[in-house]
Chains A and B, each alone.
Chain A
Amino acid sequence: MALNIKQLRKEFPILNQTVNGRQLIYFDNAATTHKPKSVVDRLTEYYYNENSNIHRGAHYLSQKATEAYEDARKTVASFINAPHQHEIIFTRGTTEAINLVASSFGKKFIRPGDEVIISALEHHSNIVPWQIACEERDATLKVIPINEKGELILEEYQKMLNEKTRLVAITHVSNSLGTVNPVKEMIEAAHSKDIPVLIDGAQAIPHMKVDVQELNCDFYCFSGHKMYGPMGVGVLYGKEEWLEKMPPYQGGGEMIKEVTFEKTTYNELPFKFEAGTPNVGDVLGMEAAVKFISYLRHENIAAHEKELLNYALDKLGKFEKIRFVGNAGHRTSVVSFLFEDIHPYDTGTILDKLGIAVRTGHHCAQPVMDFFNIPGTVRASLAVYNTKEEIDTLVEALEKVREMFA
């Protein structure tokens, strides 16, 4: 079913504004997406009618909020087809989810001389936590290299897996290039050597159906704000067997069973990993975002975004001296490019003046830029509410950029 984008855009009031006297065009969706009314309304509803601290109060509001919060966990679990609700840990976002695993898993399982494998496509948030963990544990970080198209070199990955490998942490989709990694295959390869795998799904979840049982990943992390939900909330899915074995990440309320000054016993999953008062409102907002995506259906979103991507590649490909960075066979709706004779910062500044929001720079993935030996790119990342007309406007704006600089 083709989506009615014109109708859909009405759900996003923020899109209806002018920037520097021009209609806003928002192509920075890989940084964060906008939020539909249903998400904003859910937040309002919570703070107007349900706000209360959860899991302890015996009063009406607390019970209502607790129920809503645990229902949201159920919704998220079924969204990614997690076998158990208690395998869903709410976090501040993908970054915190990865840090949680790096810290807790690291403490328990990473030993001196061990290795952790990441890839050259990672966002800094799936690099730095592992650097910290490896430094603390005297372990080594290994990096799967990429080819000129911006795809992982799988033969190299296969060679890296060995008895010292303690964990593989890779991104599902590259934030800077849009490359979709063959994670299922990579997980199978790691599992054949009993190595668990963490997937950074921040850039995948808004664009494709994710089934954690089908992938058979051990951990899957994603953020609310990149999937039409609120900022400050995210999810760590972890297999029960791992989460049970891992020590708590933070101490505080909610995560305990009994506390004495001599000894504290920890609560069961998922509460063991949710210290302190949770971000109930944003969790409910995230649930609304899940419902929004489920209502549109991932296959419809993907079909529309693919059409936009092909249209954009075709139109932009006509420019002289344009260089696309990342040409993976399997990719999401991200176009990373630069003009060979114009600095991406200059391009971005003029696009901004023309009301077009793109990202310029290294996109928190400096190693990727170093590989291609470029100062950065202009990244247009498309979402379900973008249109071909907007791409036409981008093309006109880029013509202006070339006039000014070339």
Chain B
Amino acid sequence: MKIKEKEEEIISEFEMFDDWMDKYNYIIEIGKSLPGLDEENKQEKYLIKGCQARVWLVPEFKNGEVVFSADSDALITKGIVALLIRVLSRQPPEDIVNADLEFIDRIGLKEHLSQTRSNGLLNMIKQMKLYALAFKAKQQK
């Protein structure tokens, strides 16, 4: 499935909730169901800087696609990174770099993009795109 299609899928899932509380409960559920990382992968080098909660993001490059796995010690954060993984993982680097990730706004998570959230979500996206960019450069060599 393409990034856009996955975004649409998430948007329609979130349309079921008209209450913010249900929405957050859903994000927490998504967070809980993300497999997470083994302790040995929770390394300093995988930490995303600038988040209030700790977020580890591990990239791999397999068969021309970037595979992300991640973990966080806060559940809301873990839910959010899980959504990003659902959209961006197992995609060609080029597509990841170019993704506009409109779904964040559409499902009402835009507030997590603001400065006061210590740029948590913004930094996650930035880091994922940076990894994709690096794999893309490697590919072209």
Contact = CB atoms under 8 A, between A and B. Distances in A.
A345 B74 CA distance: 7
Looking at A20, A346, A353, A375, which has the most chain B CB atoms within 10 Å of its CB?
A346
A117 to B, nearest CB: 31
Contacts of A405: 28, 75
Contact of B28 (A360, A361, A400, A404): A404
Nearest to A376: B52
Chain A interface extent, by class: 10 to 19
A9 B21 CA distance: 30
For the side of the interface on B, what is the size category?
Answer: 10 to 19
B24 A361 contact: no
B51 to A, nearest CB: 8
Nearest to A361: B52
A349 interface: yes
A405 B79 CA distance: 12
B73 interface: yes
A343 interface: yes
Contacts of B28: 346, 404-405
Given A346-B74, A346-B76, A353 B52 contact: no
Contacts of A40: none
Interface string B46-62: 00000011100000000
A131 to B, nearest CB: 21
A343 B73 contact: yes
Contact of A353 (B20, B54, B73, B75): B20
A350 interface: yes
B91 interface: no
A193 to B, nearest CB: 42
Contact of B74 (A343, A353, A400, A404): A343
Nearest to B118: A361
Contacts of A400: 21
Interface in A357-371: 360-361
Which of B20, B52, B73 has the most CB atoms of chain A within a 10 A radius of its CB?
Answer: B52
Given A343-B53, A375-B54, A350 B24 contact: yes
A124 B120 CA distance: 21
A404 B118 contact: no
Contacts of A346: 28, 53, 74-77
Nearest to A347: B74
Given A343-B53, A346-B53, A405-B75, 16 more contacts: A343-B73, A345-B52, A346-B28, A346-B74, A346-B76, A349-B24, A349-B76, A350-B24, A353-B21, A353-B24, A375-B53, A375-B54, A375-B73, A404-B24, A404-B25, A404-B28
Interface of B: 20-21, 24-25, 28, 52-54, 73-77, 118
9 contacts: A343-B73, A343-B77, A345-B52, A345-B74, A345-B77, A346-B75, A376-B52, A404-B21, A405-B75
